Structure 1
Amino acid sequence: MTQAFASEESGALSREEAAAAAAACSREFRADPHPVYATLRETAPVCPMSPPHGVETYLITRYDDGRAALADPRLSKDMYGAIDAYHRIFGDSSIALDDNMLFSDPPKHTRLRRIVGSTFTPKRVESLRTRIQEITDGLLDQCPTSGPFNLLPEFCFPLPLQVICELLGVPENERKQAQEWSATVAQTGFGPEARKALEIAEGNLREYLVDLCARKRKAPDSGLLSALVTAKDQEGALTDSELVSTAWVLLFAGHKTTAYQIGNTVYHLLSRPEQKRLALRDDASLAAAIEEVFRFESSVENSTFRWAKEDIVIRDQLIPKGALVQISITGANRDPEVFADPNELDVQRPNAQAAHLAFGYGPHYCAGAPLARLEIQLALGTLFRRHPHMALAVAPEDARWMTVPFPAFRGLAELPVVLDPS
């Protein structure tokens, strides 16, 4: 079993602290990880861990510490600077897809973020509203109404995937294959077979994106990828590697987290009829409810990796130079020092949107947050308007969550529902 790498004998962690750290890496706690994060907040808020990937990592679980760490320039996102750790976790093949703003520091991050921001504008996002509504309606038209089915593959995942593919300009007949490769890259597995599958999928994705960029160069369209190709060719603003890697991160980040968040929100509202009733009073109430579920059960459980460029002390815990760091978004968003009754879902909570860390904080705040919010609001509003009596097809406590240990994502393995129980 994975465990805290600072042992009781070393004096760094007590037996209880080490047990909590080990639990945070186990499969058993996936059904409800929140008690473990609560223990870590109290006993080891900056906890040295040995996750399944085998690279020692410090996990931050308190809100104030996590928020500060997300914006701390001493914690680098440039994984090339921690190259040995990077290779041990992801392998050499991942580098070709990670030359993007997610894994970079200023000034490179500033440049890449500006380029994406100049093409991924609020105006462009808002212009998608009608098309997102059409996709939403089309998917729901195909969902069965006479019996239980799994909402995740029929609705939650295809909606944001179709939206980001249309935004980028990925041809419709190529989306299924791109999604399958992306799903393989996203899996959290560290054994030989998983690493081999990862290497193959990453190679296929890179070849596909190189070819797609070349096609956009020959026949540009109104999509975001064509805009990025133009920025590279006319302004020299992107290298070949950055262009392909930016296309990848937009494709991947643009659908997976949103898909799981739609599922999480449906599940929690269906599990709490009174909260559902309050959420569906009007559009503003639904928007507030969506933000509360971002706080309560974010699809992003842990931040992407950072590494310490120098020795850093957080809450008396030394994080040595070169060490990896992750922030527990799930742990921070249920910190009782910030949120009253944090383990209660309260769709009328006054400060959920302003305070939650589901989209991160600081320079790496999620650039796609406006698109995610628009997609989720249209998805949930349409789903509950068309099927106001929708119900879970299993008892809430029997819902199955992903069982991957110490993951980046928090989401359901399946979401059985009945759209029209009558």
Structure 2
Amino acid sequence: MTDGQRAWLTTRYDDAILALKDNERITKNLQSLSPEDYASVIPEKEMALISKQMLSSDPPDHTRLRAIVSKAFTPQMIDRMESDIQRIAEDLIDRIEQTGKLEAIEDFAFPLPITVISRMLGIPDDDYVLFKRWSSDFIEAANNREKLKTAFPSLQAFRLYLEELIDARRKTPGDDLISLLIQAHDDQDRLSGDELVSTIWLLIVAGHETTVNLIGNGLLALLENPDQLRLWRQDPSLTATAVEELLRYYSPVEIATSRWASRDFEWHGKDVRKGDLILVGLGAANRDPAQFDDPGRLDLSRKKNKHIAFGNGIHFCLGAPLARIEGRIALTALLRRLPNLRISPSFTGLEWRPGILMRGLRELPIELR
């Protein structure tokens, strides 16, 4: 690692599964190993923003936090959003048709999921654009403690915004997700103040970042493989397997969020030491030929497809059902409404966002005709 952290990277499917499920030798909570390590990076309040949630916790804290969020972020709530997601997608495409231009990330892949999760949380529409900058600053610095220092101003602004939003919702509760989480905190006394803010932060960041990449990467994969694009258009019944294959082919999360060795152990003849960073290569695992037949080929009808784009084990992505629905609706609507999509001939080349955590495009200019 560029900051001097000793690290290990898994690239094989079986090793990725093992690392994702190993809660005995691998921890999600660096503070339990080295509290001073975090204190040297950014101030305590901002570190609490990104660390006091279920994705950065081990049992029993993880179990408690996930149970609270699961009661609020229910399948019923996600199902109720389906018609709203469809309407959001259609409205965005209406706007694209009016302008006659499409930059796939800026005009479609980003606004759809950020609008969905923000409306679920009860966040004003005008504030969505703030999250793009704040979230990107963190994602692009993730897994690098030196770079994380540069993200401090965005994390601070994010925290202050959420604290004000929680105060406002506490005074005037609604039926949104933030109000439900506040109620769980105030009535059941199971979430600390930092945990409440950090949980909402996680829902915003994780609730749109992966889906932006699913839609953008998925569209790129289809345009790069016109035979598969034609296949989907000819056989809409492939939608479910198509979305799963797009998740595997260009995994939205390249490296699973940070894990550390909680004790010394041997792995494949190598000595892993307590405190070593464990990087789980989800993208590499999803291209492992030992697990997937012809993994470099996009096959929308692929049946044997136990990909790990959403992780595995106790930290399996709670928002996976929502991301799948958004990806299905977004791409289906785009292909139906805009049948002649192609990558702009003037486009000079793909540029992926910096950072090792996510795999997402900076831009994807599209011609409509």
Asked if the contact 1:299/1:409 (under 8 Å) is kept, the reply is yes
Deviation per CA, 1:119-169, whole angstroms, max 9, x where unpaired?
111111000011111111111111156755411011100100000000111
Of 151, 155, 162, which residue of structure 2 is paired with 1:202? 155
Deviation at 1:312, TM superposition (A): 2.2
Opposite residue 367 of structure 2, the aligned amino acid is V
Opposite residue 70 of structure 1, the aligned amino acid is L
Give distance in 1, aligned partners of 2:280 and 2:346. 32
Give the number of the structure with larger relative contact order, counting CA–CA contacts within 8 Å between residues 6 or more apart: 2
Could you tell me which residue of structure 2 aligns to residue 37 of structure 1? Answer: none
Q: Gaps (5+ residues) in structure 2?
A: none
Give distance in 2, aligned partners of 1:111 and 1:365. 15
Q: Residue 53 in 1 paired to residue 3 in 2?
A: yes
* Partner-residue secondary structure (3-state), 1:280: helix
Deviation at 1:265, TM superposition (A): 0.5
| Cα gap change, 1:77 to 1:156, in 2 (>3 Å) | same
| Cα gap change, 1:78 to 1:351, in 2 (>3 Å) | same
Could you tell me which residue of structure 2 aligns to residue 363 of structure 1? Answer: 314
Opposite residue 238 of structure 2, the aligned amino acid is S
Of 351, 362, 365, which residue of structure 2 is paired with 1:416? 365
TM-score, normalised to structure 2, is 0.93
| Cα gap change, 1:223 to 1:201, in 2 (>3 Å) | same
Q: Residue 319 in 1 paired to residue 272 in 2?
A: yes
Give distance in 1, aligned partners of 2:111 and 2:30. 31
Could you tell me which residue of structure 2 aligns to residue 249 of structure 1? Answer: 202
Of 101, 109, 118, which residue of structure 1 is paired with 2:71? 118
| Cα gap change, 1:106 to 1:68, in 2 (>3 Å) | same
| Cα gap change, 1:199 to 1:412, in 2 (>3 Å) | same
Could you tell me which residue of structure 1 aligns to residue 30 of structure 2? Answer: 79
Deviation at 1:112, TM superposition (A): 0.4
| Cα gap change, 1:349 to 1:80, in 2 (>3 Å) | same
Give distance in 1, aligned partners of 2:40 and 2:120. 31
Could you tell me which residue of structure 2 aligns to residue 329 of structure 1? Answer: 282
Give distance in 2, aligned partners of 1:299 and 1:85. 32
Give distance in 1, aligned partners of 2:29 and 2:359. 24
Deviation at 1:386, TM superposition (A): 0.4
Deviation at 1:191, TM superposition (A): 9.5
Could you tell me which residue of structure 1 aligns to residue 258 of structure 2? Answer: 305
Deviation at 1:175, TM superposition (A): 2.2
Asked if the contact 1:78/1:103 (under 8 Å) is kept, the reply is yes
Opposite residue 150 of structure 1, the aligned amino acid is E
Asked if the contact 1:394/1:416 (under 8 Å) is kept, the reply is no
Could you tell me which residue of structure 2 aligns to residue 179 of structure 1? Answer: 132
Opposite residue 21 of structure 2, the aligned amino acid is A
Asked if the contact 1:96/1:206 (under 8 Å) is kept, the reply is no
Of 368, 373, 376, which residue of structure 1 is paired with 2:327? 376
* Partner-residue secondary structure (3-state), 2:8: strand
Opposite residue 185 of structure 1, the aligned amino acid is F
| Cα gap change, 1:284 to 1:237, in 2 (>3 Å) | farther
* Partner-residue secondary structure (3-state), 1:313: strand
TM-score, normalised to structure 1, is 0.82
Give distance in 2, aligned partners of 1:403 and 1:203. 22
Greater Cα offset, 309-318 or 256-265: 309-318
Q: Residue 289 in 1 paired to residue 242 in 2?
A: yes
Matched pairs, number: 365
Could you tell me which residue of structure 2 aligns to residue 30 of structure 1? Answer: none
Equivalent residues in 2 for 1:83-232, closer than 5 Å: 83=34, 87=38, 91-92=42-43, 94-97=46-49, 98-144=51-97, 148-188=101-141, 195=148, 197-232=150-185
Give distance in 1, aligned partners of 2:3 and 2:102. 34
Give distance in 2, aligned partners of 1:281 and 1:291. 18
Q: Residue 392 in 1 paired to residue 343 in 2?
A: yes
Deviation at 1:85, TM superposition (A): 8.4
Give distance in 2, aligned partners of 1:255 and 1:342. 27
* Partner-residue secondary structure (3-state), 2:123: coil
Could you tell me which residue of structure 2 aligns to residue 65 of structure 1? Answer: 15
Q: Gaps (5+ residues) in structure 1?
A: 1-50
Asked if the contact 1:399/1:415 (under 8 Å) is kept, the reply is no
Greater Cα offset, 275-284 or 229-238: 275-284
Asked if the contact 1:393/1:418 (under 8 Å) is kept, the reply is yes
Opposite residue 251 of structure 2, the aligned amino acid is S
User: Over aligned residue pairs, what C-alpha RMSD do you find?
Assistant: 2.1
Asked if the contact 2:141/2:148 (under 8 Å) is kept, the reply is no
Could you tell me which residue of structure 2 aligns to residue 341 of structure 1? Answer: 294
Greater Cα offset, 317-326 or 147-156: 147-156
| Cα gap change, 1:226 to 1:403, in 2 (>3 Å) | closer
| Cα gap change, 1:252 to 1:90, in 2 (>3 Å) | farther
Give distance in 1, aligned partners of 2:72 and 2:100. 43
